[in-house]
Amino acid sequence: MASPDFLTSTRTSYDTIAADTAEQWKDGLANQPLERAVLATFAELVTTAGGGPVADIGCGTGRVTGHLHGLGVDVFGIDLSPGMLEIARRDHPGLRFDVGSMTALDVPDTALTGLMAYYSTIHIPDDLLPQVFAEFHRVLAPGGHALLAFQIGDEPLRLSDAWGHDISLTFHRRRPEQVSALLAAAGLPVHAHAVREPAPDERTPHAYLLARKPPADH
């Protein structure tokens, strides 16, 4: 079956700019103390929940995957773009990276202690977001945790070029309360959230949501 158009364009675009993206963001977390704190909180939650496997869904070049690994998390990456994963495997040779789509994860039911979608649901159209969150619920074990990060806004950003390359990417900005409601409807109620204002080189505020699949005894 052919991929939906947005999957094809997103994959092709990131294959095209993989090397530029890796260079741009290679030290991204070094000057982001709030992001490091959120990731450390997530790492502690999934470790306390049993320390089972955690998926970084939409992992790109693996920079945050590698950061979580450094925090003691049993993490692997999934991404749509083979070009991004080529760099991830080069830079993090000890970690596992698989090609895949969050719209239909090749992960068994209840297999994960945690999952992270770090600025990756931003490419999912609104009408498919419930399907994606249903997939997140399916693959999480009871009591498992999810971390989402995304830009806040009401209108999508569409880019047709980056670093001198022709691309076709849509970045869906959303409100935290909107995403929280969709997560709750999928059986993943949000138990903590944070919002930060944009940095000087950014266009929008950013949101971080921590959700949890209820334990089996609830």
| Strand segments (E) across the chain | 54-57, 75-79, 97-99, 112-118, 140-151, 157-162, 165-171, 190-196, 206-212
pLDDT in tens, 37-67: 999 999 999 999 887 999 999 999 999 999 9
pLDDT of residue 25: 66
Q: Which residues contact 72 (CB under 8 A, 6 or more apart)?
A: 43, 47
Q: Specify the CATH number for the domain of residue 195.
A: 3.40.50.150
Cα–chain-centroid distance for residue 30? 19
The H or E element that residue 133 is part of is helix 129-139
Residue 218 has pLDDT above 80, yes or no: no
Closest C-alpha to 125, from 103, 147, 105, 140 = 103
What's the average model confidence in pLDDT over 61-85? 95
Residue span of the structural domain in which 101 resides = 5-123+138-160+176-212
Instruction: Say if 186 falls within a structural domain.
Output: yes
Helix (H, G, I), strand (E, B) or coil at 4: coil
**Total number of domains in the chain:** 1
Q: Does residue 55 contact residue 24 with C-beta atoms inside 8 Å?
A: no
Instruction: Say if 115 falls within a structural domain.
Output: yes
Q: Which of 89-93, 192-196, 201-205 has the lowest mean pLDDT?
A: 201-205
pLDDT of residue 152: 97
pLDDT of residue 93: 95
pLDDT in tens, 179-191: 999 999 999 999 9
Instruction: Say if 46 falls within a structural domain.
Output: yes
pLDDT in tens, 114-130: 999 999 999 999 999 99
